[in-house]
Structure 1
Amino acid sequence: MSKGEATREAILDTASRLARSVGLGGITIGTLASRAELSKSGLYAHFRSKESLQVSILEHTRARFVAEVVAPALTEPRGEPRVRALFENWLTWDSQPGGCLFVAASSELDDQPGPVRDRLVRYQQDWLDSLAEVFRTGLSEGHFLADADPEQFAFEVDGVMLSRHLSGRLLDDPNAVSRARTAFEALLDRARA
């Protein structure tokens, strides 16, 4: 990795942590330059615009999500063990300071058309498709009912996590994680062969 690439990665690490607390819209070139201990012009040379910075933050965060949530789950046996690993890894991801940037950005960008929202929509759809595909492997392994709907399962798991995020972060419910696990177990019980 070149020095420029390493600097860019360090900037994006800082930016993604900051975005989890202030939102993508709350990040300015000036604020980020100060946090990353760079000049505004130095930061501008890496991103050229706030929109480019926001897209880069989403890309960077997605790469981390894949590395921390998806990749470890894919080492688990196909079917229910892999579905469980995805869910547990996702709970861990959402429990970091500031929570899940994708959940926060979804509320922030849901009615703001443009390239940043488009990128977020694509990543969210990819995630739902991944959940459905991992569930589908459980169908082929005989772990789930043959008529179970993978897309519905993905939708409901996503709903459980959105509720966990809201309950835990906004409502400060100390039982949010245990409630999410209970809801997830109910989904699995209903889907099992």
Structure 2
Amino acid sequence: MTPQHGSSVRVMNLPWQITVTDEQSLHVFDLDIGRSTLDDGVKVLKSEYHLAWFESQDGTLSLEAYFFRVSMSGLRAKVILELDSTGLEKEYLLQHSGKPEVQTSRTIKYPLDDLAQTLKDRVIRSLTYVPLTNLEPALLKSRFGEPEERIVVNDNSEYWLYPKKGLLITVSKKSKKVLQYIPVGEFERLKQSIVATVSHAQQEKTAE
């Protein structure tokens, strides 16, 4: 059917189309962050993905699904889903893990693709969106407004915080912008992890 003259079609699933459902749920990219599962993410994102778990220096475990060919509303991107890891024992994960890799952040990454089906009902805790097209700061401000807070990393990068939107944007002069979505009730957890990361990096630089 040919659209009538003057009609308009609203483009869906754009990065700035966020709906805060409640303290524990955020709707973006046709997913309810805080309620939707990995299986929901697979159906919506329609991309190949890799599953992995990470162990930080303090022993904390995290679980992520990395989708590397996502295309939504004409925008191509990479998407990372942080999944709920509650109840997962380290020994169980090690039994099903691939070869470990040490990350630049000094965390250890363990491939976990063999458990993709087993963990498909794990709830999405946060979503990280990395557009392949570099979104300019001026465009981001026009869509999201001025950030409520900024955390400066160095002369080249900083974090923009939008706690009422459940959004954190990493702005860098040398790399692509990164948008991270998290339920507003969980935003403080994300902020504190950023503060700790920045503090650690600055301490290491001072010690050099």
TM-score above 0.5: no
> Counting helix residues as a fraction of each chain, which structure ranks higher?
1
> Counting strand residues as a fraction of each chain, which structure ranks higher?
2
TM-score (norm 1): 0.28
TM-score (norm 2): 0.26
